[in-house]
Amino acid sequence: MIETIASQKGYDITSPQLAEELDKQDTLAKFRDEFSIPTLRSILGENDQVKGSDLDQPCVYLCGNSLGLMPKRSRELVLQELDVWATRGVEGHWDHPYRRPWVTIDEVVKEPLAHLVGAKPLEVTAMNTLTSNLHSMLVTFYRPTTERFKILIEQKAFPSDHYAVSSHIQSRGIDPSVGLLTVAPRPGEHKLRTEDIIATIREDKEIAVVLLSGVQYYTGQYFEIEKITKAGHEAGCIVGWDLAHAVGNVPLQLHDWDVDFACWCSYKYLNSGAGGIAGLFIHEKYAKDFDKPRLAGWWGNDKSNRFEMLPEFQPSEGASGFQVSNPSMLATTSLLGSLQVFEEAGFENLRKKSVLLTGYMEKLLLTVLKDHHQAGHFRILTPKETDQRGCQLSLEFPERMMDVFDQLHARGVICDERKPTVIRVAGAPLYNSFTDILEGGCANSGKEEEGEEEEQEAGGCCCGTEDEEEDVSSGGGNGEGGETGDDDNDLF
């Protein structure tokens, strides 16, 4: 689509007119107004590099993979809850003027969460935080025997997953160096091949649980969840997924894919706020399996007699039976504000726009930083295939990543870095425009202002070689897409 419009209108890929035309044709553009976008002033203050700019204009926020922006209606809903608390006190549990009684507050997010992950409402609930939910699921589903006692994760899983899995293995009297199995990309590659994951599952008969990320946090790779889950079941394994970077980002059909369990946070693409309430999926086939061990608490008790305070735990059916404590009405309502916007926009529509935004960013980078790529100073780690990625592109700068990152931030482009060498950028279709992508993509190229072409030719990009400047140490599917992610982008 982007190439077609550019060709028809005679626009270059870096042309502001192309971005404006794409924004005009964007049927989801109205949802940008649903979000509070930080301004240059609020992010940068009176920064020298933005002198002459309108400091009250929005920054270029490409960090929804880390923390989503605040939905304006979340503020409104949370303020309503505070008013109810102030005026009703404990009565708000049952007598709620906005029809969200706190005693059933978790019920209001079940259906929209089910829509996003491809589940039945019975199979999902909002509770706890992501790692807490992983711990809960491992208590239930990791039942090691002398024959099967290993847990398989990807080599560079998010550290909290490593910690949680290792602690469970150790708590069962097993040495993590024996019980924790990792699968890695092939030498010289960055993405994990599905066939290698499946081969590992089939070959190691001691694997009890497969626990992978739906979207890999460092590279942005979207795993083939259905194929891997099927292979795991055929090998006799339980298969669970950490969907922190997948929910609200890529298509999910957890029920149809027969996933055993999944957990996710809600503060990234679901925009619930830092530390927001997390989510849990447990397949319907376990809904009435009350004999499975679990971490129990009163909120997981059957709702019909929860307040009878009986000594014997009688779990609710489905995912709700794994709840422990009553959920925060503020955290749940904050999530609800975002889920309402998702429902109005429709995830299929959002996915289509996401593919275009990510493809546009990729093409801009490959155009603008071409020379730096060819010189080995820049590459994209995220798969080029659109059915193997979501919103995120992971950009590797092997030598001077922090210099690039700092310059982007100084120009009002908000993204994040993961040491030693990666900058992550993500165009979130609910609130990012094509103009955002253009401005982010060309932020350090010299293309964003007329008259800087000579500076660009002279080496205006800050991802130079060690010979040019002292090296700065670094530390800490599904759509259609552009070309390979291994090219340079003048964008920085």
Residue positions forming the annotated binding site for pyridoxal 5'-phosphate: 130-131, 158-161, 213, 242, 245, 267, 298, 326
Six-digit token string for 8:
């028809």
Q: Which residues contact 79 (CB under 8 A, 6 or more apart)?
A: none
Q: Which residues contact 209 (CB under 8 A, 6 or more apart)?
A: 138, 141, 142, 150, 151, 152, 237, 238, 239, 240
Six-digit token string for 20:
């404006």
E-strand stretches of 387-478: 392-396, 413-414, 416-418, 422-426
Give the closest residue to 361 by CA, choosing from 399, 341, 387, 390. Answer: 390
Separation of alpha carbons 416 and 392, rounded Å: 11
* Number of Cβ within a 10 Å radius of residue 4: 8
Q: Could you tell me the sign of the dihedral formed by the alpha carbons of 285, 291, 296, 300, in that order?
A: positive
Secondary structure class of 215 (helix, strand, coil):
strand
Q: Which residues contact 257 (CB under 8 A, 6 or more apart)?
A: 118, 225, 226, 229, 230
Separation of alpha carbons 476 and 306, rounded Å: 46
Query: CA-CA-CA-CA torsion for 55, 430, 388, 109, nearest 10 degrees?
Result: 130
Q: Which residues contact 431 (CB under 8 A, 6 or more apart)?
A: 31, 32, 34, 35, 37, 61, 64, 69
Separation of alpha carbons 305 and 315, rounded Å: 10
**CA end-to-end span of the chain, whole Å?**
25
Task: Report yes or no: 404 and 423 within 8 Å, Cβ to Cβ.
Answer: yes
Query: CA-CA-CA-CA torsion for 215, 220, 221, 223, nearest 10 degrees?
Result: 10
Separation of alpha carbons 241 and 244, rounded Å: 9
* Number of Cβ within a 10 Å radius of residue 276: 25
E-strand stretches of 184-266: 207-213, 238-242, 261-264
> Amino acid letter at 46?
E
Separation of alpha carbons 400 and 376, rounded Å: 12
